[in-house]
Structure 1
């Protein structure tokens, strides 16, 4: 293969008449997944095939008979609609966008920004099942909003031969799995070809004793190019062809191989496709090996300079963004040291490391040789930008990973947050679209992340909004009945009332999500179902358990058994929908009245299904966890009071009893009365007011348009600029700044044992509203301009004896004392009243190199003891 081939894409499989050629253009761009008019166009070709294939335009075209295509080519109206749709697509791809104005915020005028977004799964549309759940759906929505915003972004993932499993329940209600092949040639994805040979582009990943070849495919998502790697090619052994067979299945050996393909193979695929990314976003730790490949590539490009690992890491890491989605360490991929050593034996030397140096990158405790290799720790140690996926999850993540930055206060651990969102066009109910268009114009689509775009939601007529709500509920019930007729409701015969309060619970069946909390008091639940006073409540459940999660499977079975046992009025008012996927989710988040979520607080990193519901005016009833911790307001939804945050001192049984009681009480005393309280026009005015508030506030706040724009401003733009400062126009530059920074950090480490705070004193200012803090600091061979000296002050937490969430004030060097010692000073606000008794301060020393993205470098922080924030010589608290 030519080392720099001209690239092209494989031709569409269908042989279309010239008049229908726009259909191929439309079918191979997932723009259609968020444009109902385009979806309807393909559905009209063959409605039965459209449904049978999971709404797949490529399959519809491939299966259409020549006679049917000829008839459509002779239909002037259809031909005109197809041409208009293709023109609309071209207009969206080339038209003005958010990034046209936002690009001015990028400081580096050189190499254009291009963010590469790596993820193990992408949930883009129901027919293309290379996703398992929330992580994939978020990734898919990220690409869609990036396209509509015009943000220069490409995606990298894996093309799974079988995708994720399809679920069915056996006679006992236990989950069973089957894995029908995805059939890539009949999916909206095309081979990337060498234009001269017409051969598919492949890239190699060295494995012990062999080279694994990975074929490169491309899926277009509006403006965004998504590259997918596939090992199921003849060049590989039968065993290696299975690496990308299934998502999230297999042993640790299969998982590490998939992650090698994603990270190392993904980087090589971008090089082969001549994609010159400047920012690399690891969406979860699965992709963390890309950091090693980038470091290796930097060293290779500058081999004549004998670049060290640390120098190459500084050049690469400035452009790395890591997003963690996991609130507990056990949820992170961790590999045995021997397994990592096996696969990196021939790779590690190219990094400029020995095997122990590589292993240390994946350990929280670098000295513990028995510690498993954590992909999240690797990502954190090789990225200068990191975030959680909600405000609360950011706090949880800083607490969880603080030991990587010893002595750093929890609030200063360099992990931020960007709260997740959802792609508005993909999840909005068709019944709401005309109401939104009339009330808000095109802004709610075109600028979905801007609060002002949604101000008109309050003007929607109550009667119209209620009619749309009733229509969406009826659609859901029709869908449920169709599923029941097909034997896909776990043996439950639904008897749902189209006028009754309908509560949905749909998500992965993991223990902490507590799908069966509602069933703790069966008598009380049955009363809700019976509907005393003509106010019945009905529930629709859906979700999959991981194939290896026996507990999760038993939770599903327990719900099904209870639903089957109901009699009288309650019979058929709890339903379980099998095979939860995008199409099922869409029906539920549009058709339910209330979205129920009751995880153990602190264990739901974000959650996005409730955001999809909120977009449609479906009111959330949830524990304050994940996104709802910042989204909740009593005017737009319901809170289930919780008994502590994980990890909590409250015993599990006490917490479960308290929160189950709180759940029943919330539904009985708040949800049911608000829904069934009607006026003379039979309209629930309070409920409708909450729906409008929900749409107006949560629609923009939890849109992926807002989320992607926030990633751009908070991480992509500054990461692009930082990488440019450190590496220049790499690989043509000599990356001198990155080399200097690494050398400076090495110097800090050698001289840091000389650094310490020798004394602190406090004195009130004449006005009495501030404290003048002085410190005598020994820097040894370091100069004052090489460090940051700060007073860190705030409340001292009784449980830890630490200041975890304080304020930093930079100190000024007043004069040298001699022998590498200096006097520093600053004024800080004096604590008042009762707060003063628990207020403390310390003086800390940090590296001060201006090239550092963050001054918090693992192992380079020197804190004085905490002293009381009161006048006089510093006394220890």
Structure 2
């Protein structure tokens, strides 16, 4: 029975189909690796709150991203993180078919309902583990970001072509916008082009123009190395010569390869980066395309911890419906923020002790760092000079740091980064406590973002497209101590929402200079404020929420997508020059 049209009453703008390789729906469904998937989930949650007609499409990832285990030296091992869609979701009736190397691959889907203040919307998780498929094809929706180029391109065929086929089979007829969250789903444009060129006499160039009017694209990739690229021979092998010819007509196979970011750029009427700084970087990478910015946001009701939810409910009860009301926390007494934060901190310290048997000091200035473990995020920058760190703790007050984050199984540099954190922890033992928690997921992130005293973020510029962990912290009154990259360029007000590490140059700065800036801020500003002036620290927590929590949220972000990208008559405006 085809029921989605009943669930999604469409306004003038029509329905938006939101495609993403990963979507973080809840901790028990491990279909995400980090910020990209969490951003996708928060976008859909914001749409449900507003009551905007939207449908999500992703893959089931039956074996999850991976389950992380760390040994006593920080060595990471990985295991599958399996889950059973049948135990949590409902299977939808139709099964569709995509062709890979000419063979039919059957695709079914599981439906998850995102519940919001304004209604609910469906997310479809595509699944090739169907008895009729060949054994290899049954594994295509098992692993997020697993396998080689062949496996990854097969996955992107399932997501793009299979996703559009499923929406057609489910009678989602009023879709006016296809939103590609990163380039993994760009082959949906090929599915649309097939429909626009159903007859041999159809003009392919004009058909691409019609496809372009239906698509929008959000790029999260600030470096060329982050783009999925596949050789033309592999594209022809998997899709066949007819589809390769269609892609060539849109300049989708320049220089003998399929660049998924390039294809998404080519076939979209609107393109945006995920922060103002990222817009500038993206325009440098892709000078032939008009690129605008919609800075990311996080879903306030999801990421505010219970003590802060209760505080907001008492003082600004409209905050869930309209996140801008968080501005009005400026009238809330500082001691209430201090009390809410103390409760969050105790919850986090208890969980740290449960996991590690390490009892941290409730009175110590606690820094938090929970990011994907990869080189440019530089989790080890704070350990650039261990003696300096010891002296700061001895002179100003006790200091401790809590880390979390997974390294991709093939990212040896990222794994080495975790080991260096462990080495630093051993060297600092007895002077500065350092713990690294494994099993980085939504639940742990929420605990850390609300329980630490200061959020630490030290990416190498300009590689941070946006970064949303500091936004989650801000919703809980936790200020940032961060390199000026990504969203922090916009959220930083020195001494009011946190502190800057280094200067505001958009280009890379020497790590030694940024480490020195980090130590200076810790020694001269952050630690003295925390240890000696607690009332002022609570006031800073309040201003962090009022300024950053009220703006860097998914509700504001989604309203910008509606006005700039989704409603055709508005999206037709030229982007900012």
Normalising by structure 2, we get a TM-score of: 0.94
Q: Deviations over 1:730-753 (max 9, x none)?
A: xxxxxxxxxxxxxxxxxxxxxxxx
Alignment of structure 1 residues 679-828 onto 2, 5 Å: 684-718=534-568
Distance 1:567-1:148 versus aligned 2 partners, 3 A rule? closer
Structure 2 residue aligned with 1:429? 305
**C-alpha displacement of 1:340:** 1.1
C-alpha contact (below 8 Å) 2:564/2:571 kept by paired residues:
no
Structure 1 residue aligned with 2:122? 225
**C-alpha displacement of 1:434:** 2.2
Q: Deviations over 1:81-118 (max 9, x none)?
A: xxxxxxxxxxxx99xxxx99xx6xxxxx5xx6100000
C-alpha contact (below 8 Å) 1:279/1:719 kept by paired residues:
no
Structure 2 residue aligned with 1:143? 44
Distance 1:644-1:463 versus aligned 2 partners, 3 A rule? closer
1:637 and 2:498 aligned? yes
2:180 and 2:3 mapped to 1: Cα distance?
Answer: 27
1:499 and 1:576 mapped to 2: Cα distance?
Answer: 19
C-alpha contact (below 8 Å) 2:183/2:261 kept by paired residues:
yes
389, 394, 404: which one aligns with 1:542: 404
Structure 2 residue aligned with 1:51? none
**C-alpha displacement of 1:643:** 7.9
1:510 and 1:279 mapped to 2: Cα distance?
Answer: 34
1:515 and 2:385 aligned? no
Structure 1 residue aligned with 2:290? 414
C-alpha contact (below 8 Å) 1:470/1:499 kept by paired residues:
no
Alignment of structure 1 residues 158-177 onto 2, 5 Å: 158-177=59-78
Alignment of structure 1 residues 280-679 onto 2, 5 Å: 280-300=178-198, 303=199, 306-348=201-243, 353=245, 356-357=248-249, 360-363=251-254, 368-369=255-256, 372-402=257-287, 405=288, 413-441=289-317, 443-448=318-323, 450=324, 453-485=325-357, 494-529=358-393, 531-532=394-395, 535-570=397-432, 573-634=433-494, 635-642=496-503, 644-646=505-507, 648=508, 655-678=510-533
2:569 and 2:184 mapped to 1: Cα distance?
Answer: 21
**C-alpha displacement of 1:355:** 7.0
2:55 and 2:368 mapped to 1: Cα distance?
Answer: 35
C-alpha contact (below 8 Å) 2:367/2:456 kept by paired residues:
yes
| Equivalent position SS for 2:65 | coil
1:639 and 1:355 mapped to 2: Cα distance?
Answer: 45
1:339 and 1:668 mapped to 2: Cα distance?
Answer: 55
| Equivalent position SS for 2:105 | strand
Structure 1 residue aligned with 2:92? 192
Structure 2 residue aligned with 1:861? none
Which segment drifts farther, 166-175 or 235-244? 166-175
Distance 1:561-1:216 versus aligned 2 partners, 3 A rule? same
Q: Deviations over 1:787-809 (max 9, x none)?
A: xxxxxxxxxxxxxxxxxxxxxxx
Distance 1:720-1:642 versus aligned 2 partners, 3 A rule? closer
C-alpha contact (below 8 Å) 1:385/1:719 kept by paired residues:
no
1:709 and 1:620 mapped to 2: Cα distance?
Answer: 26
Which runs of no fewer than 5 residues in structure 2 stay unpaired?
none
**C-alpha displacement of 1:854:** 5.5
**C-alpha displacement of 1:621:** 0.6
Equivalenced residues, count: 568
C-alpha contact (below 8 Å) 1:440/1:455 kept by paired residues:
no
**C-alpha displacement of 1:180:** 3.1
Structure 2 residue aligned with 1:841? none
1:354 and 1:707 mapped to 2: Cα distance?
Answer: 34
2:298 and 2:313 mapped to 1: Cα distance?
Answer: 19
1:155 and 1:520 mapped to 2: Cα distance?
Answer: 43
**C-alpha displacement of 1:166:** 0.8
Structure 1 residue aligned with 2:20? 119
1:183 and 2:78 aligned? no
1:261 and 2:158 aligned? yes
| Equivalent position SS for 1:123 | coil
1:508 and 1:455 mapped to 2: Cα distance?
Answer: 31
Rg larger in structure: 1
**C-alpha displacement of 1:565:** 3.5
RMSD: 2.1
| Equivalent position SS for 2:319 | helix
| Equivalent position SS for 2:517 | helix
| Equivalent position SS for 1:432 | helix
Q: Deviations over 1:138-168 (max 9, x none)?
A: 0000010100001111101101111110100
**C-alpha displacement of 1:342:** 1.1
**C-alpha displacement of 1:537:** 1.1
C-alpha contact (below 8 Å) 1:318/1:719 kept by paired residues:
no
**C-alpha displacement of 1:695:** 0.5
C-alpha contact (below 8 Å) 2:563/2:571 kept by paired residues:
no
Distance 1:501-1:355 versus aligned 2 partners, 3 A rule? closer
1:689 and 1:440 mapped to 2: Cα distance?
Answer: 17
Q: Deviations over 1:752-772 (max 9, x none)?
A: xxxxxxxxxxxxxxxxxxxxx
**C-alpha displacement of 1:356:** 4.7
2:231 and 2:46 mapped to 1: Cα distance?
Answer: 38
Normalising by structure 1, we get a TM-score of: 0.63
Which segment drifts farther, 458-467 or 282-291? 458-467
| Equivalent position SS for 1:541 | strand
1:630 and 1:393 mapped to 2: Cα distance?
Answer: 11
**C-alpha displacement of 1:315:** 1.1
| Equivalent position SS for 2:550 | helix
Structure 2 residue aligned with 1:155? 56
Distance 1:341-1:720 versus aligned 2 partners, 3 A rule? farther
Q: Deviations over 1:611-663 (max 9, x none)?
A: 000010001010111000011112221111148434x5x6xxxx011111111
Relative contact order higher in (CA < 8 Å, ≥ 6 apart): 2
1:693 and 1:543 mapped to 2: Cα distance?
Answer: 28
